[in-house]
Amino acid sequence: MANPLVNTLIHLRGNPRACTFTEPLWGLSMNLCLPYASVYMLALGVHDLQIGLISSIGMVAQVVMGLLGGVITDKLGRRLTTALFDFIAWSIPCLIWFGVSFLNPRLALWGFVAASLVNSVLQVTQNSWDCLLVEDAERERIPHIYSLVMVGGHLSALFAPIAAVLVAHFSLVPAVRILYLNAFVVMTIKLVWLYLWSHETDVGRIRMAATRGQPLHRLLRQYAGVLQIIARSPGTIFALVIAALVGAINAVNNTFWQIIISQKLLVPDAALPFFPMVRSLLAIVFFFSIIHRVSGSSHFRWPLLAGFAAYFVGQLLVSQLPAPHGGRAGWATYAALGVCLLFDSFGVGMLAMLAESIVALHVDQAERSRVMAVQRTAVMLAVAPFGWIGGALSKADRSWPFVLTAALAVVGVVVTVAYYRGGRHAPSVPDAH
């Protein structure tokens, strides 16, 4: 029997194909920069607490942009919104991140704040891109499509050695400057390619016609009805809580993972991008061997519990690793980090796919952009404090942010058990409406 992910990939057409096939370009752009983002800030004189504060400022701004995202997506359409706001959210910040390296530490701090605020527009394009991805897709294929998108993102980690070679040759700051300039070029190519390859969705055309001529403030007032839709659906609320927990874990982990392995575990800068690469390769293996078997399931209880449990083990392990003797990481440290990555990759792959799929499957088709905008706003409100909290914890002890994420994984287990105790389940993928 053919692997369902391979079968879905072969039969992708239209917007789902355009969105999925352009996703690996992340690997030649932002994914080359992200492993160095936090240590780049440290090298330019920004401290742990300030890094966490910048993260929280960006998340608060994302709350506002997330709320506007549904209205903007309906008025401009999924296709145009994605192209326009991808440029604002990614291409412009890449130029700012490049430029701050020429400033003194105080001005660099404000440059990072400015870039974070502009980058917050990603919540608009995340909404429109999700609609572009799934609105014309067959419902039963949605979990597999999200899995393929994540596989595409993980495949991009294969380009990580490019960043390592640049850092080894030029040193950290000059190499990251080059990476951000490259990201500007590649991300701009990606958004233009996606715009030319895609078309407006049927739902998008209906919503554009329905909102034509209506002022923004009137459309925003209609969110009251959207809140009622969400409040009447226990499954939607559960999906929101799961998304918030996964978002908080990822926000802390993505910001402080590179810091702990660089500053506490003494992994050299040139080796930093290999860890996301290994995590991504492991996640791909799990996607095709285990995760795809549950992504079409009508009952997500055990997959959620497995994902949170794996994440708990991986985060707790990294928090307990001792600083190496001798001034640099040894084989024991690398072996222990490998075990951490094994658990993390399974947890990341499982939870990311399930969080997106549960949200997508519970959303009313006609109100997808507005419901998802409200959900993203609520999630960002919940996640926003964790950047600052993680920064404060990292300032005290660089292991503590990962104790926090392990605790959040435990909360995820408790919430999942409580939700399914009453016999509830996520909607059946083929036939739920």
The per-residue pLDDT of the chain, averaged, comes to: 84
- Taking only the tens place, the pLDDT of each residue in 58-76 is 988 988 888 788 889 989 9
* 194 close to 82: Cβ distance less than 8 angstroms: yes
CA distances from 272 to 72, 163, 276, 393, 419 (A): 38, 9, 8, 22, 39
- Taking only the tens place, the pLDDT of each residue in 254-274 is 888 888 998 889 888 878 878
Where b means 16+ CB within 10 Å and e means fewer, 332-342 reads ebbebbeebbb
Helix (H, G, I), strand (E, B) or coil at 377: helix
User: Is a pLDDT exceeding 90 seen at residue 431?
Assistant: no
The per-residue pLDDT for 124 is 92
- Taking only the tens place, the pLDDT of each residue in 403-426 is 999 999 999 999 999 988 865 554
Q: Which of 42, 65, 150, 90 is nearest to 384 (CA)?
A: 65
The per-residue pLDDT for 427 is 47
Position with higher pLDDT, 60 vs 180: 180
Cα of 27 vs its chain's centroid, Å: 14
The per-residue pLDDT for 42 is 92
- Taking only the tens place, the pLDDT of each residue in 317-366 is 999 998 887 777 788 889 999 999 999 888 887 887 777 767 666 666 66
Residue found by looking up tokens 């497995």 in the block: 306
The per-residue pLDDT for 430 is 37
The per-residue pLDDT for 136 is 83
Q: What is the mean pLDDT of residues 30-44?
A: 88
Domains detected in the chain: 14-420 (1.20.1250.20)
